Structure 1
Amino acid sequence: MLNTSDAVRLAEVRDRTLSALREAIGDARDVAVLDAPNQRNVGDSLIWQGELAYLEMLGLRIRYVSDLNGFDAADLRRRLPRSGVVLLHGGGNFGDLWIGHQEHRETLAAELADYRLVQLSQSIFFADEGRAAIANRVIGAHPDFTLLLRDGLSMERAATMLPDVRRAYCPDMALGYDAAFPAGGRTDADKVLVIARADRESASGLRGIPQDWLAPHRLHVTDWGQHRSDPLGWRLARTVLKLQRRLVAARRRLPVKPPTLPQALVQRAVRLINESNVDSAVSLYSSARAVAVDRLHAHVLAMLLGLGHVMLDNNYRKLGAVFDDYTGVFSTANYATDLDEARARLYEILES
């Protein structure tokens, strides 16, 4: 639960986000949301939940949703008026680290030139300047594309690497989600939870800490997707979206186009996957006295829950840039530059 000061800070961030969204979306009432998360990553799901909350606050109607592989342009055009706006799910995959999502948004920019496109809040990072030039050329050619960026460092990078793309500042949209511990309250809150990534963005060293790193306190080291088994409903929802992907692929390949699944079913499956992911993380956090993380949305979730935590950065300063801009003012958030500092900060949290 947030204290009064943090609740005020959160309201200020949300007001700033709503203002940026109104400016980018304009007076449209209907939207599509593309590249919806369909995996185990809680961070993407938390962003998704926040995006839905903001769209509801703005009174927008979601006419069409698709994940990375389930997009069908003809289906979108049937469901979304030309006065509507196409929104692309936010996150940290704008660049060449997660190239599938980048290629998808570039394809959308080329294929949907007659719609206003808004890329919801992203961090950006290109390791290859040539790849950035491609993105700038393709997306910059769209007549009405707005790239929303969630931190000042990304704004600076975009000014250099994406000079032809219209950009605007908008805080991370996961902060629109109202997080709360389960109704029964926190149970057995005696361990220190560590959310440590082991993918291409990993740079903190958290993944390799020994069990006695914070003695005498008990550690639980895990990562998104590794902290639970997949429930039946989650697996069924994934099966629905896999079927949608196959139908879309068949429509591209066959002269006689099979129908895609009803949007109500697709949206229900997307909702179930992401609600399940976030609920599982909240349950995991409910048994922790403190948290150490090197994932941005592991930090955001701890902050939204009012749980003391320490964050270390990834390999391109994604976390630190957001912390410097707005999440660092929250009373439960602490930033560390190395493992020794992180351990010292955790002891302070545990002793307070």
Structure 2
Amino acid sequence: MTETLHRPNSLHEIRLATIDVLADVIGTGRDVALLQAPNQRNVGDTLIWLGERQYFTALGLRLRHVSDLGGYDADTVRASLPEGGVVLIHGGGNFGDLWYGHQLHRERVTRDLPDLPIVQLPQSVYFASQAKAEQANAELGAHPDFTLLVRDQGSWARAERHLPNVATRYCWDMALGWQPPQRRPARTTRRPLVLARTDKEAASGLASVDLGAQLGAQADRADWKNLGSDAVAWQLLRVLPRLAHRVPALRKPAFQPLMRTCISAINAINVRGGVRLLRDRPVAVVDRLHAHILAGLLEVPHVALDNSYGKIRAVYAEYTHVLRTARFASDLDDALSQVQTLAAEEPV
């Protein structure tokens, strides 16, 4: 590592430290474009998006352009940014070859926009293929002003190993910048919750657990989803961004205000559903990083299990352990033991 790692002791300190890093890397009072904006159901990406927007406001950054993965147009990005503007790429967990479409896109962006500074907002880094890592190093390292922000020390070490030509800094997950709406008392007693992933990052075995049997009470099982009128509105709002993937004319500056409105509304629905799912649970067990972060921000007692390459363990060990209702489990048996303990304790 090329810098001393600061370890904040509270959520407030994390937010202040994040602002310091972003101010140093991006600057303040600047015009920015945000690429790879989330346009899917994953509440984790939405929380990152909302945290990014909070930090942009704190830094006085003026958001001039927003596009999702398929709505990118290099000429529109360049036309949207006055002199001194900065291109930002949405943070998350897709840097590397596990979610390779996002990686190929950011490499394309660095080829298309060599005349603009580019900052990759905090990511987890993971490459299974050395050849793809070498390609990323060549593409990103060739850009004259590209900075990668990483959100955990493991990703920092992998970046140093795989991406020696890429300027890298440490920064905390952007989702921690989001502040949830004011809490309203629950009208009814809610069941415990299991929120388990079933995609290529799943590794905990949580999807097969009968939490209700362990607690002697019924429990809910879910993953991120929208319900009722929100589900209908969500589908309708996605029409324009998805059309822009196929119709280049819809990517032009004239459509930017409407595109930004649609993407913002999509993410507002996502976070509303995520809050509705988790808020006021007596206890939860999760194996998604941002289910853990959202539960912590909502002060829901919960136990987190790891994903396939250790990003949740790393982030918890380094900083999300400051969320006072959060616990981390090394395996399923440990998780179930901790859940039983939490369920027996007084409400936090």
| Cα-to-partner distance string for 1:59-99 (whole Å, 9 max, x where unaligned) | 11100000000011111121112310000000000010000
Distance in 2 between the 1:144 and 1:187 partners? 52
- Counterpart of 2:185 in structure 1 is 185
| Cα-to-partner distance string for 1:131-169 (whole Å, 9 max, x where unaligned) | 111101100100000000011111111111111100000
- Counterpart of 1:14 in structure 2 is 15
Distance in 2 between the 1:49 and 1:306 partners? 18
Secondary structure of 1:314's match? coil
Secondary structure of 1:69's match? helix
| Cα-to-partner distance string for 1:304-350 (whole Å, 9 max, x where unaligned) | 11111000000100101100110113221101011111011111111
**RMSD value over aligned CA atoms?**
1.8
| Cα-to-partner distance string for 1:218-277 (whole Å, 9 max, x where unaligned) | 21111123x6355332122100111222222x68xxxxxx95652111111010011110
1:76-91 equivalences under 5 Å are 76-91=77-92
Secondary structure of 2:215's match? coil
| 1:138 equivalent in alignment to 2:131 | no
| 1:118 equivalent in alignment to 2:119 | yes
Distance in 2 between the 1:138 and 1:28 partners? 29
* Superposition deviation, residue 212 in structure 1: 4.0
* Superposition deviation, residue 181 in structure 1: 5.6
| Native 8 Å contact 2:140 2:166 kept in 1 | yes
Secondary structure of 1:36's match? coil
Please list every run of 5 or more consecutive structure 2 residues that lacks an aligned counterpart in the other structure.
Answer: 1-7
Secondary structure of 1:93's match? strand
Secondary structure of 2:219's match? strand
Aligned length: 337
Distance in 2 between the 1:320 and 1:187 partners? 34
**Bigger shift: residues 203-212 or 268-277:** 203-212
**Bigger shift: residues 191-200 or 21-30:** 21-30
**Bigger shift: residues 164-173 or 261-270:** 261-270
* Superposition deviation, residue 291 in structure 1: 1.0
- Counterpart of 1:312 in structure 2 is 305
| Native 8 Å contact 1:115 1:144 kept in 2 | yes
| Native 8 Å contact 1:110 1:138 kept in 2 | yes
- Counterpart of 2:4 in structure 1 is none
Distance in 1 between the 2:19 and 2:217 partners? 41
| Cα-to-partner distance string for 1:278-315 (whole Å, 9 max, x where unaligned) | 11110111251111100000000011111110000001
Distance in 2 between the 1:265 and 1:197 partners? 32
* Superposition deviation, residue 180 in structure 1: 3.4
Distance in 2 between the 1:260 and 1:232 partners? 27
Secondary structure of 1:26's match? coil
1:1-352 equivalences under 5 Å are 9-27=10-28, 29-180=30-181, 184-210=184-210, 212-225=212-225, 228=227, 230-248=230-248, 259=252, 262-352=255-345
| Native 8 Å contact 2:215 2:340 kept in 1 | no
Instruction: Report the AA paired with residue 334 of structure 2.
Output: E
Distance in 2 between the 1:131 and 1:188 partners? 51
| Cα-to-partner distance string for 1:190-229 (whole Å, 9 max, x where unaligned) | 311111000000000000113544231221111123x635
* Superposition deviation, residue 185 in structure 1: 2.5
Distance in 2 between the 1:261 and 1:201 partners? 38
Distance in 2 between the 1:36 and 1:264 partners? 14
Report the TM-score when normalising by structure 1.
Answer: 0.92
Instruction: Report the AA paired with residue 190 of structure 1.
Output: R
Secondary structure of 2:120's match? strand
Q: Cα 1:324–1:8, aligned 2, differ >3 Å: closer, same or farther? A: closer
Distance in 1 between the 2:161 and 2:222 partners? 37
Please list every run of 5 or more consecutive structure 1 residues that lacks an aligned counterpart in the other structure.
Answer: 1-6, 252-257
| Cα-to-partner distance string for 1:36-57 (whole Å, 9 max, x where unaligned) | 0000000000100000010011
| Native 8 Å contact 1:97 1:126 kept in 2 | yes
| Native 8 Å contact 1:310 1:335 kept in 2 | yes
Instruction: Report the AA paired with residue 238 of structure 1.
Output: R
Report the TM-score when normalising by structure 2.
Answer: 0.93
Distance in 1 between the 2:277 and 2:172 partners? 26
Secondary structure of 2:274's match? helix
Distance in 1 between the 2:247 and 2:254 partners? 8
Distance in 2 between the 1:63 and 1:195 partners? 36
Instruction: Report the AA paired with residue 273 of structure 2.
Output: S
